Amino acid sequence: MSRYFLISKNLDCHLDNDKKGFLTVLLQTPLAHSLLLCYLYFHMNEKTVLIIEDEEDAAELFAEMMRVSGFRVLKTSSSAPALTMLTNDKPDIVILDIMMPEISGLDVLREMRRDPNLKDIPVVVVSAKGTPTDIKNGIEAGAATYLTKPVGFLELKEAVSNALGSG
């Protein structure tokens, strides 16, 4: 994960990357030290959410809801690259639409549950499909929660918190 620091020359702080990718930080003032500690406190515990949603407006709405809640956000509008992103990026939680082009969200969820490296990632389904059978199928496939669109900020935030075990 890359992080970029914007540091004023007035803080007497120097960042240096060596050839092995290690970052050296030289802090020469208490203010620089305090700012770095604050940054690390807020960002080292930052969780990542992957949003798999083919409707761009809905995806961006969910993304903004999660950013406001303190999450790092990854998005894909297609289920085809979703499994690769899941494997490469290892998100802490997934928000998943069911009606997707190419591969259905349920198929993505079932594949996640079969993969030993992905099976424990909680999934919150957010779908326009809201019949009792749809909800039952989503839960049986392995969703932690199944929400029907439209979804409000507090409802999504609570579902994500609960799925992560922090709600």
pLDDT for 80: 85
Task: Specify the pLDDT at position 1.
Answer: 34
The structural domains of the chain, ordered by start, are 11-44 (no CATH), 48-163 (3.40.50.2300)
Rounded CA-CA distance 22/95 in Å is: 33
Backbone angles phi, psi at 41, to 5 degrees: -60, -45
Tokens 């929400």 -> residue: 147
Mean pLDDT rounded to a whole number for the chain:
84
Dump pLDDT digits (tens) for 91-111: 999 999 999 988 999 999 999
Give the tens place of pLDDT for each residue, 19-50: 555 555 566 666 666 666 655 555 556 899 99
The most confident of the ranges 5-9, 18-22, 23-27, 77-81 is 77-81
pLDDT-based confidence at 88, cuts 50/70/90?
very high
Please, what's the b/e burial string for 79-103 (b: 16 or more CB within 10 A of its CB; e: otherwise)?
Answer: beebbebbeeeebbbbbbbbebeee
Please say whether the beta carbons of 24 and 18 come within 8 A: yes
Beta strands in 64-120 (DSSP E): 72-76, 93-96
pLDDT at 15: 52
157 pLDDT exceeds 60? yes
